[in-house]
Structure 1
Amino acid sequence: MQKGSRYTSVLVGAIVGSVVGFASYVYTLFGNTIPSFFAVYFREIGAALIMMAVFVFAIAWLMKAKPGRKPQRYLIKVFDVCGVETPIDGIRTEFKTHDVAWSFMKEYKKFYPLFNFALVSDLPNSEKLTIFRYL
């Protein structure tokens, strides 16, 4: 009986040893070898995805933040104390730039304090004149 138990323990020891050895091999294969092989590629793919996302957001921001077309002509409208549009003879009312029109409008307000002035322009997508400043 001793002889059979000795062979059984050797057989069990060999089976346990082979199972532990195979488990160690599988653990090393799936825990270290395969991930380290693909880690380089995953890092590069991750960096590429981040760069693509940055470019997509940058292009979307540029498309949304694209300035609209500026008006080609600015007008000064004159209103009396009652709010009725009134022409004043001898003043310039058409301008090509916003800054010049604003400067003239401030001067007109000094010379004609009882009148109100509106800086308006005809924008491309608007049916009515758009008021930029009111003084």
Structure 2
Amino acid sequence: MAIISQIKGSRLTIAIYGSPSDKKIVKIYTSQSKVIPPGVQVVEDSSLPVGARKVVEKGSNGVSVTVYRTITFPNGKTVTEVVSRDRYLPQDMVVAVGVSRRGVGQDKEGSVVVRPADGSSQLGSE
């Protein structure tokens, strides 16, 4: 193998020469070893009625990944090595939970009733 460099003016040129017997086959691959589930963050939301829930962010799984490199030499010898072990953290799901009593009341039996936006005490006429 030979490496030749040359400078002409402001330009650098590098040439690498080798023979077919120097040729190696290099393969890179990954292995996912573990899925990391997301957590759940609960935040209070005064714009939602008490107890109402709303998903604000879906969240996503994280993963642990190992990257390998396999080198096969011209003589048939193969070497496998770990390039890196990486961990990509999950993104938590965010759920808003209502804390507002505005627009919410209870009927005689104690059931929760959502009042119309106009503030009237009746849900409508039948």
Give the TM-score normalised by the residue count of structure 2.
0.27
RCO (CA 8 Å, sep 6+): is it higher in 1 or 2? 2
Which of structures 1 and 2 has the bigger CA Rg?
1
Greater percentage in helix:
1
Greater percentage in strand:
2
